[in-house]
Structure 1
Amino acid sequence: MANDRRNPPPPPWRRDTPERRSPGRKPAARSSARKRFGWVRPVLSLFVVIGLIGAGWLVMIARDLPSIDTLDLDPPRMGGLVFLDHEGRTIARRGAGHGREARVDDLPDYLIDAVLAVEDRRFYDHMGIDLRGTTRALIANLRAGRVVQGGSTITQQLAKNLFLTPERTLTRKVQEMMLAFALEARFSKDEILSLYLDRVYFGAGAWGVEAAAQRYFGRDARDLTLGEAALLAGLLKAPSRYSPASDTARAAARATVVLDLMYETGRISEEERIEAANTPVRVAREASSPGAQYFVDWIAEEARELAGEPRADLVIHTTLDIDAQRAAEQALTSVLDNDELSRGATQGALVALAPDGGVRAMVGGRDYAQSQFNRAVLARRQPGSAFKAFVYAAAFEGGLRPSDIRDDLPIAFGDWSPQNYGDQYRGPISLRDAFVHSSNVVAIRVAEETGRGYVARLAERLGIESEIRLDRSMALGSFEVTPLELATAYTAFNNGGQRAYSHAITRIETPDGTVLYEREDTRGLIVLDARTLTRMRSMMEDVVRDGTGRAASVPGRTIGGKTGTTNDFRDAWFAGYSDGITAAIWVGNDDSSPAGNAVGGGPPASIFGSFVAHAPREPSVAQPVWNEPVYEPEPDAEDEERRDPISSFLARLGGRD
């Protein structure tokens, strides 16, 4: 009995009795199966957990999705803008001024076919997500090692444009797919395509196919030719790069690619493809000046604010001159595209102003298609020696004269030893020669003698609004300004000494002539006296005639200005005037890296000369007359010490300067 208690028989449900054993089943086989398939249950459990987590994640994403139920097929539209130059010529159009939405039924079949051939060939066959297209794009991207194809359908693109941000994350992509399915369930295919064509960006500020047709061809979308339709469809991949307003040859080449795709997919015949490819596409004249888009971008938002009726169609009268604008663009690109002339500079900006500060031309960069960053008004760079104009103007106001002599010799202030360009020095020279040949050490002596605070106040009085650091390097332009700012301040040297205020909009009205805004024609205050102005103009003209700015000269034209170059050739400037136009030109690299050996007397001066030679002449402003005395007696020793205390102090110490 004891043995039975210590080793009790197994319970009935554990006994391997014949009546419980399945026919032919062996205990060893069951044990082997457990070992062989024991991994199935944990793997299935893992999949279940992952599925639950994924489902929860999708639920959380879905909760944050916007509702498409309130999406209006006819949303309120922003009024169109028409920009005119100072002579009433059209510069550009922004927005769909006619206020008519794009409808698939109203558009040419070949326009729809062109868009589908480029963006979504199976649009009418999928339910928002094209698995075949997504797989094809994934394989192509893996083979290339980078993104070369996109797998998003038109519905997905519409979802992103309407509701989502452009960030590239997995969450945003999943939301895009969810919204695509929702849009497909809510709207018909034609309605989705209409929404897409009405909202997609075609470059040059044109949103929607109707605005693009007006912007590039000056006609409604329903009247476009096959070639024009192919060109618009080709913009969708990269609107800025392929814009005909920026590069007609590149846009035409892209349109040819679209025509080939249409032929390959059976949407047009071989004869239609050849005829469209051989028919020149003419871009509307107002769209043929790509650089003007910098100007339009700059003032578009201001125009709506000044008008106070953002949803009305507006006609904006501006100060721009189309002919001057084209001359500015040509001058900048011709120099920067020439390796010998550009000397390593890859970017540039130009601003030209009328005597009252009205912007006649503005080029914010080398290529608007590649970069819409407006360097003319946004780039802050050191002006270098171009700031010396304010140093000498302040000195003349303080009593110095162009004939005064100062030592052009090495100088040191503690650990700081400023040097002339090329480490060249001329010994005792006049202030006129020091300015003409851009002596750094003499400019510093003059600024110290005049007073840095006085120099800064004069620069601010003329139009420099950036903060000026009042250290010794101020005389060499070691702070930052914008090209527009520098051009504004230089205008006083060319308009009789008046303070100029840069501006671009003169009047805003509705298409029926109702004036909504008009700028007051106010004269600026006199900020330079006749004596200082006469001396500065004489010296600036000597810079172009005999000094560092000779590349800016134009036969038969009176031109004055000042060059500027910063350390390591990071920034090069020329600011000056001719007749009634004042301009500032900057060249360099966007990343502030050294630009080869580009100096102010190189690319910027060459650009200025080319611009002035081809731009329309602006009427000159009568300058006040002040006759410089023919004879000015040499100052005695006491007077010389008063005028150049730095040299006198160093001489008494027996030191070198």
Structure 2
Amino acid sequence: MSDSPKRRNPLVADKRYSRKPAMASSKSAAKPKAKAKRSRKAPRQRRGGILGLLSALVRWFFRLIWVIFSRIVLVGFAVLALIVGYFYTTLPPVDDLLDGRAKGSVTMLDNNNEVYAWRGDQFGGAVTAENVSRHLKNAVIATEDKRFYKHFGLSPRGIASAVRINLSEGRGPLSGHGGSTITQQTAKLLCLGEPFDPTAGQTEAEYESECRRGSLKRKAKEAVYAMAMEAKYSKNEILSIYLNRAYMGGGAYGAEAASQRFFGKSAATLNPAEAATIAGLLTAPSTLSPTSNLERSRNRAATVLRLMNEQGYLSDEEEAVAQASPAELSDAAEARAGGYFADWVMSTGPEFFTRNTTEDVIIRTTLDQNMQRAAVAGLNWVFENKVRPGSKAQAAIVVMSADGAVRAMVGGRKTKVSGAFNRATQALRQTGSAFKPFVYAAALDLGYSPNDLVDDSPYCVYTPGSGEWCPKNYTNRFVGQTTMTNALAQSLNIPAVKISESVGRETVSAVASQFGIKNDLAAGPAMALGASESTLIEMTGAFAGILNGGSSVTPYGLIDLKLRGDTEPLMGTGGGIGERVIQESAAGQLIYMMEKVVAEGTGQRAQFGGRQLAGKTGTTSAAKDAWFIGFSADYVAGVWMGYDDNTPLKGVTGGGLPAEIWREVMMRVHEGVPMKPLPMIAPAPAQVIFEGDVNEVAPIANSGQSQPRQPRASNIIDQVLQDIFGGGDGSRSSGSQGGDR
């Protein structure tokens, strides 16, 4: 027996370690079985028979369609990228795209060098999205493209919405609403990169119409061009092009021109109401222009302000203030771009620098805006207070200085117009007794005196081929012997005809023509009574010649013309004082006689303020035309009144409503003007008596002596020749019974 202790088996440990390997081996054995089980899983069974074949064919077909479609899309994107890339390479720098006008503009300045009128395609200067008023920028985005800064040039949502609206309104999908983004609109303004070519046989209007055409092909090209612009330019650069090229009504292209045109201020300083007005023009610039319809323009601006508020560009308080204070037009905008006067100035300048200019032209003019307002106010006051409501009678006014510089012009009762018929410069009307000063001017220049006597008694003139013509006075009464001064003051017809026949119709005609009456004058004795036609501006200019001492006058409105940026003018005025027509002493005596017309005669309604005034009334037969033309020491004004269709005026003579219009206008014109005496010359106390029929007895002239001279042989010879060969047609024109009250 051994004395060592009996060895005990480590039951627990052995158990643990003896069993683990067994378990591990069993697990490892099980895993392959599981893997083997998965690997031996039966493949998915395909359907057999006809159904299986059909299913396979369908799967193959859709795989083929997908492969073809994906390839086409890839090729399409590649082609689109190439086209966009092509347009990208053709796009010029931004600065070259800001002014896209084919024509130039005309800016007119008044006598104080203030802008009062525009013509042509006005471009006020380049602006950028960064330097315009933020209100204008926000108004344009809110109105035209609220997702402008989020899209890539196209707005699928906007296009879908526009198509839905068009279809719901019964139009074609591309007719009406276009869903165009600002980028697309800018692409259209650029005509998709196709510049206007005047040599291509296409007018500018046809070119613009082609650019706006909405065909599917055009829309596709527009979309591609818009994407090219998005790739080439920044958003603000695109918006800048749009703000500069968009037409905004009134001849204004771009935000700066529109801002100056309507509000007389820079586009950088527009307030919300003004900005909303300009942004509202983009949808319909002609019909929404504030100079066309101010109420409609303000309604559109109110809508724009609401959109700005809804999109967070204006607070509720800011919107309320803007809605309560709509934009106010500038004085120039109120005047509708200068109206009749600006139209006339444009017609007097060279066409290649006015109506057809390709340059930006600046014209200095003679217009006095205070006098223009006075003329409009005077005309309106008389028609509102003296003329029956609904009357269709027209009137015209011209105010000028003695040198022919036109200060104001009204060509009709609708004073805020442009391009309308101008009755002051275009209407040829019989002058009636307003012509008589030229008869007396001829006599005075030949040595007659205002105090010379003429016999106002029944009188007839015989002309070969026309027979006997017997003028009558307006009152159908005769005053007997009277001075030439009184004969003119009372507008007596018979003395005027006798004097005209005495001095010779040719002499009277020559004096009138040299004073500026350019139209053919009647050849018969009725010429003395204003049977001939003339325009108001010609007649007013002729009276200016009397005021300035007897020299002819060419009315003018253009002082000088130059290109924008130049310091020296290209041309100066084409009017002013010309050659002497009658002696200065004769003009002074004629002014004396015409002063009596206003002080004592038919023109008394023209008096105002205690000033010395001179003038002449005129009324044609059946009162188809009524005139008053007169002057102070400072200004000449002419007024015509009548109907465009020659309907007779009822109860109107030159000494009536025309004289009252003249007074209301000149009273306003002379506010603040110091009183000055007329340059008139009182006559010497001499007399010459015109007796009997001047066809038989020549007049006896006198130059200041108390005893009459003997008859002039030359006048007798002239009269005999006239009787033998005829002195005209002796027309019994409607002007033959002139004379007025």
Q: TM-score by structure 1 length?
A: 0.69
In structure 2, distance between residues paired with 1:323 and 1:388: 32
In structure 1, distance between residues paired with 2:350 and 2:140: 32
Which amino acid is the alignment partner of residue 281 of structure 1?
A: A
* 1:545 Cα deviation from its structure 2 partner: 1.1
Q: Which of 538, 561, 570 does residue 624 from structure 2 map onto?
A: 570
Which amino acid is the alignment partner of residue 479 of structure 1?
A: S
* 1:462 Cα deviation from its structure 2 partner: 0.8
Partner of 1:333: 380
Q: Which of 90, 105, 108 does residue 137 from structure 2 map onto?
A: 108
Partner of 1:10: none
Query: What does 1:480-491 correspond to in 2, within 5 Å?
Result: 480-491=533-544
* 1:635 Cα deviation from its structure 2 partner: 7.3
In structure 1, distance between residues paired with 2:416 and 2:649: 22
Partner of 1:202: 249
- Asked if 1:603 is matched to 2:638, the reply is no
In structure 1, distance between residues paired with 2:602 and 2:158: 63
Instruction: Give the count of matched residue pairs.
Output: 553
What's the CA shift string for 1:360-380, capped at 9, x where partnerless? Answer: 112222224456422222222
* 1:524 Cα deviation from its structure 2 partner: 2.6
* 1:215 Cα deviation from its structure 2 partner: 0.8
Q: Which of 393, 413, 420 does residue 473 from structure 2 map onto?
A: 420
Partner of 1:26: none
Query: What does 1:347-426 correspond to in 2, within 5 Å?
Result: 347-369=394-416, 372-373=419-420, 374-402=422-450, 403-409=452-458, 411=460, 414=467, 418-426=471-479
Cα 1:401–1:304 change in 2 (3 A) is closer
In structure 2, distance between residues paired with 1:461 and 1:325: 28
Stretch moving more, 537-546 or 518-527? 518-527
In structure 2, distance between residues paired with 1:361 and 1:613: 14
In structure 2, distance between residues paired with 1:637 and 1:347: 42
Which amino acid is the alignment partner of residue 477 of structure 1?
A: G
Cα 1:511–1:377 change in 2 (3 A) is same
In structure 2, distance between residues paired with 1:483 and 1:303: 20
Which amino acid is the alignment partner of residue 187 of structure 1?
A: E
Partner of 1:429: 482
Q: Which of 500, 508, 519 does residue 455 from structure 1 map onto?
A: 508
- Asked if 1:227 is matched to 2:280, the reply is no
- Asked if 1:587 is matched to 2:615, the reply is no
Q: Which of 495, 517, 523 does residue 442 from structure 1 map onto?
A: 495
* 1:593 Cα deviation from its structure 2 partner: 2.4
SS at match of 2:615: strand
Cα 1:288–1:385 change in 2 (3 A) is same
Partner of 2:54: none
Partner of 1:215: 261
- Asked if 1:473 is matched to 2:526, the reply is yes
SS at match of 2:552: coil
Cα 1:316–1:419 change in 2 (3 A) is same
* 1:624 Cα deviation from its structure 2 partner: 7.0
Q: Are the equivalent residues in 1 in contact too, given 2:123–2:254 (CA < 8 A)? A: no
How high is the sequence identity, in percent, across the aligned residues?
Answer: 31
Q: Are the equivalent residues in 1 in contact too, given 2:263–2:329 (CA < 8 A)? A: yes
Partner of 1:96: 122
In structure 1, distance between residues paired with 2:108 and 2:627: 30
Query: What does 1:163-312 correspond to in 2, within 5 Å?
Result: 183-188=218-223, 198=245, 200=247, 202-203=249-250, 205-207=251-253, 209-221=255-267, 223-232=269-278, 251=294, 253-259=295-301, 261=303, 274-290=320-336, 292-300=338-346, 310-312=357-359
What's the CA shift string for 1:14-72, capped at 9, x where partnerless? Answer: xxxxxxxxxxxxxxxxxxxxxxxxxxxxxxxxxxxxxxxxxxxxxxxxxxxxxxx9999
What's the CA shift string for 1:203-229, capped at 9, x where partnerless? Answer: 3x5455542221111334465444224
Q: TM-score by structure 2 length?
A: 0.62
Partner of 2:35: none
Q: Are the equivalent residues in 1 in contact too, given 2:625–2:641 (CA < 8 A)? A: yes
Partner of 1:62: none
Q: Which of 581, 595, 603 does residue 549 from structure 1 map onto?
A: 603
What's the CA shift string for 1:318-337, capped at 9, x where partnerless? Answer: 22222222211211222223
Cα 1:364–1:125 change in 2 (3 A) is farther
Cα 1:314–1:266 change in 2 (3 A) is closer
Partner of 1:628: 683
Which amino acid is the alignment partner of residue 333 of structure 2?
A: A
SS at match of 2:553: coil
In structure 2, distance between residues paired with 1:590 and 1:583: 21
Q: Are the equivalent residues in 2 in contact too, given 1:589–1:595 (CA < 8 A)? A: yes
Query: What does 1:90-169 correspond to in 2, within 5 Å?
Result: 90-94=115-119, 95-100=121-126, 107-111=136-140, 131=166
Cα 1:219–1:470 change in 2 (3 A) is same
In structure 2, distance between residues paired with 1:258 and 1:581: 44
In structure 2, distance between residues paired with 1:129 and 1:384: 68
Q: Are the equivalent residues in 2 in contact too, given 1:127–1:184 (CA < 8 A)? A: no
* 1:355 Cα deviation from its structure 2 partner: 1.9
SS at match of 2:364: strand
Stretch moving more, 420-429 or 211-220? 420-429
In structure 1, distance between residues paired with 2:517 and 2:492: 22
Partner of 1:147: none
Q: Which of 545, 558, 583 does residue 529 from structure 1 map onto?
A: 583
Which amino acid is the alignment partner of residue 361 of structure 1?
A: A
Q: Are the equivalent residues in 2 in contact too, given 1:241–1:370 (CA < 8 A)? A: no
In structure 2, distance between residues paired with 1:281 and 1:462: 48
Partner of 1:641: 697
In structure 2, distance between residues paired with 1:342 and 1:428: 44
Which amino acid is the alignment partner of residue 380 of structure 2?
A: T
In structure 1, distance between residues paired with 2:444 and 2:109: 42
Q: Which runs of 5+ in 1 are unaligned?
A: 1-68, 137-149, 650-656
Q: Are the equivalent residues in 1 in contact too, given 2:276–2:305 (CA < 8 A)? A: no
Is the radius of gyration larger for structure 1 or structure 2? Answer: 2
Q: Are the equivalent residues in 2 in contact too, given 1:544–1:560 (CA < 8 A)? A: yes
Cα 1:180–1:517 change in 2 (3 A) is same
* 1:277 Cα deviation from its structure 2 partner: 2.7
Q: Are the equivalent residues in 1 in contact too, given 2:117–2:342 (CA < 8 A)? A: yes
Q: Are the equivalent residues in 2 in contact too, given 1:114–1:230 (CA < 8 A)? A: no
Q: Are the equivalent residues in 1 in contact too, given 2:456–2:478 (CA < 8 A)? A: no
Q: Are the equivalent residues in 2 in contact too, given 1:581–1:618 (CA < 8 A)? A: no
Cα 1:371–1:412 change in 2 (3 A) is farther
In structure 2, distance between residues paired with 1:384 and 1:326: 29
In structure 1, distance between residues paired with 2:283 and 2:384: 26
* 1:612 Cα deviation from its structure 2 partner: 1.7
* 1:278 Cα deviation from its structure 2 partner: 0.8
Q: Are the equivalent residues in 2 in contact too, given 1:544–1:561 (CA < 8 A)? A: yes
* 1:562 Cα deviation from its structure 2 partner: 0.6
Cα 1:473–1:630 change in 2 (3 A) is closer
Q: Which runs of 5+ in 2 are unaligned?
A: 1-89, 147-156, 197-201, 230-237, 701-714, 721-736
SS at match of 2:495: helix
Root mean square deviation of aligned Cα: 4.9
Q: Which of 83, 94, 100 does residue 75 from structure 1 map onto?
A: 100
Cα 1:607–1:304 change in 2 (3 A) is same
SS at match of 1:445: helix
